[in-house]
Structure 1
Amino acid sequence: MTSQPEHSHRTGRGLDVLALAALILIACSLRPAASSLGPVLSEVQGAFALAEWQTGLLTALPGLIFAICGFIAVPVLKKVGLFGSLVMTCVLITVGVGARALVDGWLSFAGLTVVALAGMSIGNVILPVYVKTRFPDRTNLGATAFTVSLGLGAMFPAFLTAPITGHFDNWRVGLGIWALVPACALVTWIILRAARSVPSLDRPGGDAPEAAPPRRHIFTSSKARYMAMFFGLQSVNAYVQFGWLPQIYRDAGLDPVLAGLMLTVVTLGGIPGGFLAPQIIMRSILPRFFLVSFALSAVCGYLGLLLIPTTMPILWAILLGYGGFAFPAALALITGRTHDVAITARTSAFVQSSGYVLAAIGPLAVGGLLGLSAGWTVPLWFMVGVSTLMGITGFLAASPGTVDDELVPTGTHGVTTDPRGGMPRRK
């Protein structure tokens, strides 16, 4: 066991394993509230006698809440600290997911869904800060664990909620069981705190606050803006595929079961993507080339759906799945293109909140284009354009340099802050 006072937390092999377990469990908690609803949406709709607009609102809530609540994550982090903010994340998700499976009213169900999504949105922003502070010398490991766990947290509820519902003949069990994941995350997080292994973001007492140079607003960083656009455009791809891809295949003449399987193929890409994309970004393995390749793959997938959708349907799904590697790459950029912990937090909030605005708008735009054009030609060309822009912004976001460099005002002579302890240092 070693002590590192500059981090304000204890480290060691056992504690590092526990810290990684906490990261994995919290990250796995950030998707089930959204991904578990789709498989039992018809049962929920029937139980509450929902109108079409109410069902549509439920499916649109993740993007909307992620966009809105992501902006409050940094103020929450400053107010209650890293430990308190992630406790809040786990508690909100546990209460929201667990209690919504028990209520009898539509408004209560929707309100508790918002509670869970609010916790998820805060965790989305703050976990990259935890990766930066708790694994300062192994951010590659932390970023990979984060992105892979996000994929697992989306995949398993999508696969297992319907079978669990069928086994118990009760959709409430199928939804409510996923409250166990954030509950376990909360217990692990509290144990880590009791072992004094949760980082403190406070500056060491000997540091004068004015030692660090003032920072410009995050929007003034062109890199942060490109990262936000890249994140948003890849989110449009993901949410359009989740919402519309099976219908595109079905309208082309594919069997409904096979059409659903194509979406499964796409979502499975999140697992290898979660492993590989952070390596590309954190180790600087031709990052711009790979980010452009993700976009090009998505373009080819959409063109295949446009021109010959039923000739090689699985090929188009595989291409779109590889294009989905852009999501873990976008998350890895947040930690890979920032140094200072405060900048990581601000960048994470800005990139994700701005990006999820596009994520909420994208599926609505595709639905509107579908209604206006009465076919998939115009919407698919729209998605070709979205993917092309994703490649351009990804190329720019992955360029050398950091957000920190662009936020230091002229005349500070390159002073920045050490990401591991808040100590000022020279570049």
Structure 2
Amino acid sequence: MLSMESTKDDRTLHTRSPEPPPIARAAAPLLFVVGLALAAFNLRPALASIGPLLPEIRDGLAMNGAVAGLLTSVPALCFAVFGVAAPRLARRHGLPTVLVAGLAALAAGLALRALAGSTPVFLVTSTLALAGVAIGNVLMPVLVKEYFPDRMGTMTGLYSMSLSFGAACAAGLSVPLASALGDDWRPGLGFWALPAAVAVLPWLAALPRARRSRRTGPAATRGGPAGGPAVAAPRLARSGTAWALAVFFGLQATAAYVTLGWSPQIYQDAGVSAGTAGALAAVIIGLGAPIGFVLPPIAARMRHQGPLVAVLGACGLAGYAGLWLAPAGGAWLWAILLGLANCSFPVVLTMIGMRSRTPGGVARLSAFAQSIGYLISVPGPLLVGTLNEATGAWHAPLGLMVTLMLVQILVGFRAGRDRCVEDDG
């Protein structure tokens, strides 16, 4: 059903309209660059702003521990559920239109969440915000493929850096903002609706140009620059490359959620102060900005990204070994190694953009890999916490993470082959 519908959408051509004036053509690339960076910046504050303020949020809403624990799993579930709809919406309404809707939902959800008077309202408004994030997650690689097909590595690096920068800002500034704005968690949490609203503006300005492009038949409707129809969803389910990307995405997301969620506790249990543990977590997050900008162009120039996946995985293995043997003694080194390992995220985003020949195919592959990947990542942080509680130590959780990292390297090597999903099956 989806295959027949997508083929019909992909082959629909519209009447030609006059070309925009030269100044509009010159300004459009800059508009898309700014829009891409701003959109990416806003894809993580909805998550990263909660952790630092969670004790105050729990007190203010009388939230029990079970619900607070659920907050760690809700984002991945939302990303999996809502991300599936993004390609279909983009085919029907255009990329900028759907992204505007997603960013508007994000801004509204963040603003309303800060006004929530009860736990159910907080969860519902958080879901609205995360639905917008899910749409942005899926569409980012597609936007790069559509508007910057000859600069995929550089533009993927730009939005990966912006995404990491947004996460670091939200993690580091939410508490100071709450203190400065009345010593209340609500302004500190709601502040992040403002940059999300600002991110809508360049995409609103891009809508007229995008509609003209759709009327003249953009790459996505013509099957992409390489020709041929975009890959259909049922075909992805039979593609070994698509499944390798999905599992690799899920395992690197698991590693990121575990290190960001549990590394401060591991450090504190080893005798590191809470303030230093928070700074170490900031290092793990912050490395994603500069390294995330550098790695995608390197990955895009490689015929096989497997060796790069292996190097980043080795950093993760060394970081886990350090936390096992001397968590306090080499704390800063382990944080750097784990931060480098988490840079598998921009690499897998680059690979998603390279594993299909058309923007339409990238849209479906991005939704497939991210939806399944985020579902894979759901149990990881919960299982790590359960193992720690059951054993009273971190050896079993770290042993689990070493095992998962070895699997991540193997499946990432498979996903990194120079092969498109259209070649499978």
TM-score (norm 2): 0.89
Match of 1:76 among 65, 71, 89: 89
**Aligned residue for 1:50?**
63
**Aligned residue for 1:133?**
146
| Cα distance between partner residues in 2 of 1:313 and 1:214 | 46
**Aligned residue for 1:314?**
332
Assess if the C-alpha contact under 8 Å between 2:284 and 2:339 holds in 1.
Answer: yes
Q: 1:373 to 1:188 in 2, by over 3 A?
A: same
Q: 1:230 to 1:69 in 2, by over 3 A?
A: same
Assess if the C-alpha contact under 8 Å between 2:96 and 2:206 holds in 1.
Answer: no
Match of 1:243 among 257, 261, 271: 261
Higher mean Cα deviation, 240-249 or 216-225?
216-225
* SS of aligned partner of 1:12: helix
Q: 1:333 to 1:59 in 2, by over 3 A?
A: same
2:89 is aligned with what amino acid?
Answer: V
Alignment of 1:14-163 (within 5 A): 14-163=27-176
Q: 1:356 to 1:76 in 2, by over 3 A?
A: same
Q: 1:213 to 1:369 in 2, by over 3 A?
A: closer
Assess if the C-alpha contact under 8 Å between 1:83 and 1:198 holds in 2.
Answer: no
| Cα distance between partner residues in 2 of 1:213 and 1:185 | 29
Q: 1:271 to 1:307 in 2, by over 3 A?
A: same
**Aligned residue for 1:174?**
188
Residue 374 of structure 1 and its aligned partner are, at CA, apart by: 2.2
| Cα distance between partner residues in 2 of 1:282 and 1:243 | 30
Match of 1:261 among 252, 256, 279: 279
1:348 is aligned with what amino acid?
Answer: S
* SS of aligned partner of 1:217: helix
| Cα distance between partner residues in 1 of 2:313 and 2:74 | 26
| Cα distance between partner residues in 1 of 2:20 and 2:423 | 28
| Cα distance between partner residues in 1 of 2:77 and 2:354 | 27
Residue 214 of structure 1 and its aligned partner are, at CA, apart by: 7.4
Assess if the C-alpha contact under 8 Å between 1:192 and 1:198 holds in 2.
Answer: no
2:258 is aligned with what amino acid?
Answer: V
TM-score (norm 1): 0.88
Q: 1:397 to 1:204 in 2, by over 3 A?
A: closer
| Cα distance between partner residues in 2 of 1:298 and 1:320 | 5
Residue 59 of structure 1 and its aligned partner are, at CA, apart by: 2.8
Aligned residues between the structures: 403
2:196 is aligned with what amino acid?
Answer: P
2:53 is aligned with what amino acid?
Answer: V
The one-character-per-residue Cα deviations of 1:133-185 (angstroms, maximum 9, x if unpaired) are 11122222321222111111211111111111111122211111111122111
Residue 195 of structure 1 and its aligned partner are, at CA, apart by: 4.8
The alignment-based identity, stated in percent, is 35
Q: 1:245 to 1:82 in 2, by over 3 A?
A: same
Gaps of 5+ in 2: 1-15
State the Cα RMSD in Å. Answer: 2.6
* SS of aligned partner of 1:220: coil
**Aligned residue for 1:354?**
372
2:141 is aligned with what amino acid?
Answer: P
Assess if the C-alpha contact under 8 Å between 1:38 and 1:158 holds in 2.
Answer: yes
The answer to whether 1:382 aligns with 2:400 is: yes
Residue 13 of structure 1 and its aligned partner are, at CA, apart by: 3.2
Residue 97 of structure 1 and its aligned partner are, at CA, apart by: 0.4
